[in-house]
Amino acid sequence: MPARNDPQVYARRLRAVLISSIPVLEARGIAIVLMAGMVGVIAGALVTGMSAMVQGMHYLLFDVQPGGRLSAMFSLADPVQAMFPAIGGLLLGLSVIWLRKRKFRTPVDPIEANALYGGRMSLTDTFIIVAQTMISSGFGASVGLEAGYTQIGSGVASRLARAFRLRRNDVRILVGCGAAGAIAAAFDAPLTGAFYGFELVIGIYSVANVAPVMAAAIAASLTAEVFGGVPFPLELSGLPNLTASEYVPFLLLGLLGGAASIAIMHLVSIVERLFVRLSIDASVRPFIGGIFVGLLGLVTPQVLSSGHGALHREFAMNYTLPVVASVFVMKLAASAISLGSGFRGGLFFASLFLGALLGKVFAGVMAITAPSVGIDPAVAAVVGMTSLAVGVVGGPLTMTFLALESTRDLTLTGVVLAASIMSAILVRETFGYSFSTWRFHLRGETIRSAHDVGWMRSLTVGSMMRKDVRTIPASTSLDEFRKEVPLGSGQRVIAVEQADQYVGMLLVPELHSDLSDGATPVSALAQFKDAVLVPSMNVQTAAETFQRTGAEELAVVEDFDERIVLGLLTESHLMRRYAEELDKARRDLSGEE
């Protein structure tokens, strides 16, 4: 019997009070909205606290004055400060050794949690990621805090949802609310945060999700303002009125942003593979990466940390084309080295800064090659910022609303959305991943978004196969087979060798109509000799095997080496079970029981 002061007891009681105090029909929806608002308040407070702590580290390590930004400095106050990224890398390396000794698994982020685990996230994983992200950014590595923000917002939301024993889809919604609140608080942009939750973490926009996600985003944004969070406005003035005919060069810029985002993701992977090929231990890589980042920081501090100050500098000042291009190259190198060497963080803000630089480079090149077009550098910077970020982060509406809420200029909305869509189409059709899902791909995962596919993993071949299968020795002659297996006694028999090792599938009607010599062994007439399933395969992999082989039934074997026959699975049964589970998942998503 649980103790009277057991937290789970209190959670159950509070849940009962929430549900019982509201009419039954509306109880669930209103309770979720209230919890989402609570998640937003918590996320806003935590994001503000994380930002303040990192700013404090920049003050102590780099002499960044209150209200200033590390990347906005024109030069480091002391060349010795270039050592701090390497020192941060050393601390991260020690944490890698500590985690390795305790055999911690790879942490689960909000997208992976919602796609595979029904929104279940570990608070231990969350605090590890947050600590490593703050060390990385605080010591000057070229990474953003947004990954830590969304991790802590979603991690707390997941824990709260599971404390109230909410059902799977409600947990996933609250995880999305946590991420939405975190981004809304970070940028003082509720719509941006909400659509980040919809597009990237929940994986779908629906009317049922609007109220909780918007409640979390608004609550988080207001909370950040109360606690003194720094907003993210881009002060732009004198922007030209854009007509539809002037969209063409910006659509081209959108495509360039998409292509650049693909190149950036590949570059990070190349740096990672380079460290592996050099046989450098994972605990040493951040230290080495920090050395290179520090050297780049000596040239310009704009490459350090996330780049908030540097982005505002780019919009406030008119640098020459060579300067902008050189900063773009150095920031790209610093971000790729930071992430590729093992610093914890993301490319969210780095992609915004790099995109703004790309836009200014594009405007500068157009001014030289086609001055009659008249590309405005500020507009190009905003379009480049969003289009490159769409390719890296994903979510064209998220980035469109970020541009709208940060510039507060409706004139830009149409062209930003058009360029963002072009970037998204290019990345989806040629690459297929955002940065987050690309990292999953490199780890061997197959997910491409936060759509709930976790139930597919429980729907395995082993759970669907028939075990009552008939086998016959592969050396049996065709005449003997016809005597033992009369026409009409079954549809299929599996030919096996000694110890039930799979040889092939025998289709009874075909063997009875075959014109081969009666002494022919049935092994010569067996089909699908190289096509088998194993019990651990999920429904998606099994369906792909059926499609590739053109078979209607396949044998299930213990493993691919010994190929001991365990059972049989037909394509029709697999598709029926898949349709049943898919229908159930859709009912859960729409709130039906």
Average pLDDT over residues 434-451: 64
pTM of this prediction? Answer: 0.78
Beta-bridge mates of residue 466: 568
Say what the pLDDT of residue 548 is.
86
Is pLDDT above 50 for 26? no
The rounded distance, in Å, linking the Cα atoms of 141 and 98 is 21
Task: Output the CA–CA distances (angstroms, integers) from residue 216 to 42, 117, 157, 317, 573, in the order listed.
Answer: 9, 22, 10, 36, 43
Task: Output the CA–CA distances (angstroms, integers) from residue 13 to 37, 166, 388, 449, in the order listed.
Answer: 20, 13, 48, 35
Say what the pLDDT of residue 590 is.
47
What kind of fold does domain 244-443 have according to CATH?
Answer: Clc chloride channel (1.10.3080)
Say what the pLDDT of residue 329 is.
96
101-115, 378-392, 561-575: least confident range:
101-115
Is pLDDT above 60 for 350? yes
User: Which pLDDT band holds residue 301 (cuts at 50, 70, 90)?
Assistant: very high
The rounded distance, in Å, linking the Cα atoms of 425 and 414 is 17
User: Which pLDDT band holds residue 256 (cuts at 50, 70, 90)?
Assistant: very high
Average pLDDT over residues 533-552: 84
For residue 33 the two structure tokens come to 């909205």
Tell me the CATH number for domain 22-227. Answer: 1.10.3080.10
Average pLDDT over residues 389-394: 91
What kind of fold does domain 456-585 have according to CATH?
Answer: CBS-domain (3.10.580)
What is the CA 395 to chain-centroid distance, rounded?
11
Say what the pLDDT of residue 2 is.
46
Question: Could you tell me the residue ranges of all domains in the chain?
Answer: 22-227, 244-443, 456-585
Is pLDDT above 60 for 559? yes
Is pLDDT above 50 for 515? yes
Share of the chain above pLDDT 70, in %: 87
Average pLDDT over residues 313-338: 92
The rounded distance, in Å, linking the Cα atoms of 196 and 185 is 12
Which residues, including other chains, have CB under 8 Å from residue 184's CB and lie 6 or more apart? Answer: 40, 44, 190, 192, 193, 194, 216, 217, 218, 220, 221, 224
Is pLDDT above 50 for 349? yes
Say what the pLDDT of residue 267 is.
93
220-234, 437-451, 457-471: least confident range:
437-451
Q: Give the best-scoring range by mean pLDDT among 12-21, 126-135, 365-374, 403-412.
A: 126-135
Say what the pLDDT of residue 352 is.
93
User: Which pLDDT band holds residue 13 (cuts at 50, 70, 90)?
Assistant: low
Q: Which residue has the tokens 């190198």?
A: 333
**DSSP state for residue 465 in the 8-state scheme:** -
Average pLDDT over residues 420-447: 78
**DSSP state for residue 494 in the 8-state scheme:** E
Domains 244-443 and 456-585 share a fold: no
Say what the pLDDT of residue 1 is.
44
Say what the pLDDT of residue 91 is.
95
3-7, 135-139, 372-376: least confident range:
3-7
> Which pLDDT tens digit goes with each residue over 258-269?
999 999 999 999
Give the residue with greater pLDDT, 238 vs 514.
514
Name the packing angle between helices 321-341 and 348-369 (round to 10°): 150
User: Which pLDDT band holds residue 375 (cuts at 50, 70, 90)?
Assistant: confident
Is pLDDT above 90 for 331? yes
User: Which pLDDT band holds residue 378 (cuts at 50, 70, 90)?
Assistant: confident
Angle subtended at Cα 379 by Cα 375 and Cα 380, rounded to the nearest 5 degrees: 65
Which residues, including other chains, have CB under 8 Å from residue 50's CB and lie 6 or more apart? Answer: 130, 134, 145, 148, 149, 152
List the one residue out of 118, 137, 201, 176 whose CA is nearest residue 449. 201
Share of the chain above pLDDT 90, in %: 46
User: Which pLDDT band holds residue 19 (cuts at 50, 70, 90)?
Assistant: very low
DSSP of 391-413: HHH--HHHHHHHHHHHH--GGGH
Say what the pLDDT of residue 518 is.
84
Say what the pLDDT of residue 186 is.
93
